[in-house]
């Protein structure tokens, strides 16, 4: 049985890794539903990251290089937060596996 | 050998432990674009056996090594305890000989006289769809093709050759893993494993150029798609995603010697997952490299820090895609050679004094790529602290990271952690004995897998590349002047900050003079001048009752302003005139 995510009265299909099968179905409610499943309460700081991931993905069709994400977080939330540790604090399972999932991006695959 | 390593080889048998680990099956759209011809989904049961047998027959005839290895194994078992997946899982089928036996029994039944005549008496078993689905598809994807077993086999049998043949047979009936087919399909679409599209690839390179400029002040180029270049460089695409310090280190090396180099978005990947999947795809992926090198007139093709890429190139490229009008080498050979010849002049080893390094030999460097001395040589040229692991687990005896061979996928995570146990045990020994805190792993699969393994076994080391260390130690022309200037600027900024004469104790606003500060306090905070005293502040502003005065320089508390002022005068040599309530001098 394929995995699904319940968002309001919608039932969205997920891939084997629990990511959205159809990334175009993403909206803010989807992000909140994913976050609830992962035990994360989305704060403004989380949203800064999620929004950046979305913007980058819409422009480049892939998740940003980690270094780009870290720098962007530093710019938006202050230099003391521009580090991987801070991102892991917000998304304990990491930017690729967790932040990308919540932001509705496909899971990066390859040697990662 | 240390006690922990010795103990590791005492494995408790757990038959069937590996049966739960199975790769997700390919999606039709990935299967469709493979160079090797495979069905979009698993064939119906009644079609599987004849197709598989035909392919197996083809494999043994085309690949002499496969035929030889099928025949000569005497099942002595010398390989069993040398396999990391056996050590981790304890499953007897998850051994080199056990896995190969899954194919050998079928080979005997269908292709040998003794097998046809005596059947199970000689260990022969006819092929069934269940054998393909439940045994081969599970266990041939629990071998990372690391080939450690071949080092310990008295006949030198390379069981990975059997794994590779077994996987080709599985492909022919549509039993192919999604992870591998997806990665290969991304290479065909975007030129690299990660599927980084051209605009993102170029943007990433520009971004890293800016990063280098920010930290060194030097314009180091990371060229992409130059029309002509002497050197074509192939990074693992993960170096443009997660392992960016490796990419930066390589770019600095090329810059330091003034190399005419480029990367290509058509062939932007060193790795070649065809090695884990099919000869047809292996050849097709290598062909992209060969075509690109020819097009740009490269005299030299350099492969980045990637283990199996080096095997795919070194052992297959000339044979499958040759003759080649260029030379090719690994970046570690290239950099080691430059260091030996003194061409990387300004190396400051002390810049790596924060790390105590050990080295993980990637399987394909050590057992298929003749690359074990260069790695150690480079590390010792750029670092002061290096400690090798136990000789029983280094160089050609190295243990797999647990994620090679096409197994670096989420659904196999538990198996990957179990397979990482031997490597973790060896690393733990050098961490405890020498305080090692950096595990150099010059391979993109290692860089993804080993941090998880180290975390899983609670081993406090950072995992990184060799060129990450080179990049830190290598000082470029103009870098030292930039660093000196930056340092001076930082100190000047610090001094300027310290020179701000007055800061409001209630809102941190800064003022050029005490008078301005007092005016501000009077206007904004409604505090009269009388209440003010330099370096003494009331915690509650005007209405302070409980603790009327606190010294702004040492936090001592006083019952009245007068006492506080006396204290300031005596202890901090500050005159009453200098004092004003809620204004404190930073000095």
Q: Looking at beta carbons, which residues of chain B come within 8 Å of A107?
A: 410
Q: What is the largest CA-CA distance in chain B?
A: 113
pLDDT given at position B540: 37
CA distance B521 to B508: 11
The three-state secondary structure class of B512 is coil
CA distance B551 to B549: 7
Q: Name the more confident of B211 and B565.
A: B211
Domain ranges within chain B, ordered by starting residue: 3-175, 181-473, 479-585
pLDDT given at position B523: 83
Cβ contact B244–A112 (<8 Å): no
Q: Looking at beta carbons, which residues of chain A come within 8 Å of B179?
A: 109
Q: Which tokens sit at B359?
A: 């080295």
CA distance B125 to B121: 10
Q: Which tokens sit at B207?
A: 């971004």
Cβ contact B199–A67 (<8 Å): no
Q: pLDDT confidence of B501, banded at 50, 70, 90? A: confident
Q: B566: which residues sit within 8 A by CB, 6+ positions away?
A: none
Cβ contact A111–B207 (<8 Å): no
Distance from CA of A9 to the nearest CA of B (A): 28
Task: Give the closest residue to B24 by CA, choosing from A17, A43, A40.
Answer: A17
pLDDT given at position B548: 64
- Degrees (nearest 5) of the Cα angle A85, A86, A91? 95
Task: Give the closest residue to B359 by CA, choosing from B421, B422, B436, B302.
Answer: B436
pLDDT given at position B538: 40
Write out pLDDT tens, residues B300-329: 999 999 999 999 999 999 999 999 999 999
Relative to beta strand B510-511, strand B502-504 is: antiparallel
| Residue B20 reports pLDDT greater than 70 | yes
CA distance B210 to B219: 8
DSSP designation for B17: G
Question: Could you tell me the CA-to-CA distances from B415 to B96, B361, B421, B448 in Å, in that order?
Answer: 16, 21, 10, 15
Cβ contact B195–A109 (<8 Å): yes
| Residue A9 reports pLDDT greater than 70 | yes
The three-state secondary structure class of B302 is strand
CA B462 to chain centre: 11
| Residue B569 reports pLDDT greater than 90 | no
CA distance A15 to A20: 6
Among the partner-chain residues A16, A107, A110, the one whose CB lies closest to the CB of B183 is A110
CA distance B372 to B347: 22
pLDDT given at position B567: 79
Percent of chain A with pLDDT over 70: 99
pLDDT given at position B187: 98
Q: Looking at beta carbons, which residues of chain B come within 8 Å of A108?
A: 194, 241
Cβ contact A109–B271 (<8 Å): no
Write out pLDDT tens, residues A90-106: 999 999 889 999 999 99
Q: B188: which residues sit within 8 A by CB, 6+ positions away?
A: B33, B284
Percent of chain B with pLDDT over 70: 94
Q: pLDDT confidence of B556, banded at 50, 70, 90? A: confident
The end-to-end CA distance of chain B, in Å, is 60
Cβ contact B196–A62 (<8 Å): yes
CA distance B109 to B235: 45
Backbone angles phi, psi at B470, to 5 degrees: -60, -45
* pLDDT mean over B126-150: 97
Distance from CA of A62 to the nearest CA of B (A): 7
Percent of chain B with pLDDT over 90: 83
- The B327-330 sheet, strands edge to edge: B261-262, B231-234, B300-303, B327-330
Q: Which tokens sit at B317?
A: 């490229």
CA distance B552 to B537: 6
pLDDT given at position B543: 38
User: Which residues of A are known catalytic residues?
Assistant: 111
Among the partner-chain residues A16, A60, A65, the one whose CB lies closest to the CB of B240 is A65
Q: Which tokens sit at B274?
A: 């065809």
Handedness of CA A94, A97, A98, A102 (dihedral sign): positive
* pLDDT mean over B32-53: 97
Cβ contact A112–B238 (<8 Å): yes
Give the best residue of B22, B178, B200 to mutate against chain A (max A CB count within 10 A).
Answer: B200
pLDDT given at position B530: 66
Among the partner-chain residues B238, B244, B447, the one whose CB lies closest to the CB of A67 is B244
* pLDDT mean over B453-479: 98
* pLDDT mean over B518-539: 65
Cβ contact B186–A60 (<8 Å): no
Q: pLDDT confidence of B566, banded at 50, 70, 90? A: confident
Task: Give the closest residue to B102 by CA, choosing from B180, B47, B159.
Answer: B159
Distance from CA of B43 to the nearest CA of A (A): 21
Q: Looking at beta carbons, which residues of chain B come within 8 Å of A95?
A: none
Question: Could you tell me the CA-to-CA distances from B355 to B434, B437, B443 in Å, in that order?
Answer: 11, 6, 19
* pLDDT mean over A14-23: 92
Question: Could you tell me the CA-to-CA distances from B73 to B69, B96, B104, B124, B396 in Å, in that order?
Answer: 6, 11, 10, 14, 21
| Residue B533 reports pLDDT greater than 70 | no
Among the partner-chain residues B195, B211, B445, the one whose CB lies closest to the CB of A62 is B195
The B-side interface with A (CB below 8 A) comprises 24, 178-179, 182-183, 186, 192-197, 199-200, 203-204, 207-208, 211, 236-238, 240-242, 244, 271, 306, 408-411, 444-445, 447-448
pLDDT given at position B545: 41
Q: Is B220 left (phi over 0), alpha (psi -120 to 50) or beta?
A: beta
CA distance B377 to B565: 66
Q: Which tokens sit at B295?
A: 């097009």
Question: To 10 degrees, the CA torsion angle through B479, B481, B486, B487?
Answer: 110
The A-side interface with B (CB below 8 A) comprises 16-17, 60-62, 65-68, 107-112
| Residue B420 reports pLDDT greater than 90 | yes
Bridge partners of B462, per DSSP, are B438
pLDDT given at position B576: 63
Q: Does the interface ipTM go beyond 0.85? A: yes
* pLDDT mean over B77-85: 96
Cβ contact A65–B271 (<8 Å): no
Q: pLDDT confidence of B582, banded at 50, 70, 90? A: very low
Are B263 and B336 a contacting pair, CB within 8 Å?
no
Task: Give the closest residue to B159 by CA, choosing from B246, B76, B101, B87.
Answer: B101
């Amino acid at each position: 049985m394929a995995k699904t995510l319940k968002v309001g009265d919608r039932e969205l299909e997920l891939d084997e890794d629990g990511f959205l099968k159809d990334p175009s179905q993403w909206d803010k409610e989807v992000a909140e539903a994913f976050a609830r499943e992962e035990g994360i309460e989305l704060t403004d700081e989380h949203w800064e990251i999620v929004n950046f991931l979305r913007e980058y993905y819409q422009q480049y069709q892939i998740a940003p290089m980690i270094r780009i994400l870290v720098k962007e977080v530093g710019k938006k939330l202050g230099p003391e937060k521009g580090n991987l540790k801070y991102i892991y604090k917000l998304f304990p399972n990491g930017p690729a596996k967790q932040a990308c999932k919540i932001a509705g991006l496909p899971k990066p695959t390859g040697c990662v | 050998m240390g006690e922990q390593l010795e103990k590791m080889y005492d494995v408790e048998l757990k038959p069937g432990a590996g049966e739960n680990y199975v790769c997700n099956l390919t999606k039709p759209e990935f299967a469709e674009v493979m160079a090797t011809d495979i069905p979009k989904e698993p064939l119906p049961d009644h079609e599987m056996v004849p197709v598989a047998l035909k392919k197996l027959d083809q494999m043994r005839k085309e690949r002499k090594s496969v035929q030889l290895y099928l025949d000569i194994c005497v099942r002595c078992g010398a390989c069993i305890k040398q396999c990391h997946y056996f050590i981790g899982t304890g499953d007897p089928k998850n051994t080199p000989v056990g896995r190969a036996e899954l194919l050998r029994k079928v080979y005997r039944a269908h292709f040998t006289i003794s097998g046809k005549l005596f059947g199970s008496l000689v260990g022969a078993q006819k092929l069934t769809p269940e054998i393909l689905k439940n045994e081969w598809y599970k266990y041939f994807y629990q071998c990372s093709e690391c080939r450690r077993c071949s080092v310990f086999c008295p006949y030198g049998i390379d069981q990975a050759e059997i794994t590779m043949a077994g996987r080709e047979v599985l492909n022919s009936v549509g039993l192919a893993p999604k992870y591998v087919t997806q990665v290969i399909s991304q290479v065909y679409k975007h030129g690299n494993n990660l599927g980084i599209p051209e605009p993102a690839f170029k943007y990433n390179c520009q971004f890293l150029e800016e990063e280098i400029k920010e930290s060194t002040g030097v314009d180091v180029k990371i060229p992409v798609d130059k029309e002509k270049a002497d050197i074509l460089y192939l990074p693992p695409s993960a170096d443009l995603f997660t392992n960016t310090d490796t990419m930066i280190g390589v770019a600095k090396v090329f810059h330091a010697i003034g190399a005419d180099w480029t990367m290509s978005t058509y062939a932007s990947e060193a790795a070649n997952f065809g090695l884990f999947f099919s000869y047809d795809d292996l050849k097709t992926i290598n062909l992209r490299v060969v075509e690109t090198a020819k097009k740009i007139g490269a005299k030299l093709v350099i492969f980045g820090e990637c283990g199996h890429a080096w095997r795919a190139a070194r052992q297959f490229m000339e044979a499958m895609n040759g003759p080649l009008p260029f030379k090719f080498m690994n970046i570690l050979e290239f950099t080691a050679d430059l260091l030996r010849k003194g061409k990387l002049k300004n190396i400051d080893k002390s810049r790596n004094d924060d790390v105590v390094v050990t080295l993980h030999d990637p399987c394909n460097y050590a057992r298929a790529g003749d690359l074990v001395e260069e790695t150690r040589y480079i590390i010792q040229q750029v670092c002061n602290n290096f400690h090798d692991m136990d000789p029983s687990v280094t160089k050609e005896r190295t243990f797999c990271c647990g994620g090679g061979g096409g197994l670096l996928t989420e659904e196999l995570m538990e198996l990957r952690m179990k397979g990482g146990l031997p490597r973790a045990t060896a690393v733990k020994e050098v961490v405890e004995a020498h305080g090692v805190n950096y595990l150099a792993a010059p391979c993109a699969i290692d860089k993804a897998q080993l941090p998880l393994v180290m975390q899983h076994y609670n081993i406090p080391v950072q995992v990184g590349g060799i060129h990450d260390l080179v990049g830190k130690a290598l000082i470029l022309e103009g870098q030292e002047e930039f660093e000196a200037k930056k340092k001076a600027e930082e100190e000047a900024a610090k001094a300027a900050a310290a020179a701000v004469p007055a800061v409001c104790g209630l809102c941190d606003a800064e003022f050029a003079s005490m008078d301005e500060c007092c005016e501000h306090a009077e206007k904004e905070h409604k505090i009269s001048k009388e209440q003010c005293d330099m370096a003494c502040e009331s915690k509650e502003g005007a209405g302070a009752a409980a603790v009327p005065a606190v010294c702004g320089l040492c936090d001592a508390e006083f019952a009245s302003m007068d006492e506080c002022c006396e204290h300031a005068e005596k202890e901090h040599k500050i005159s009453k005139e200098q004092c004003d309530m809620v204004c404190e001098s930073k000095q």
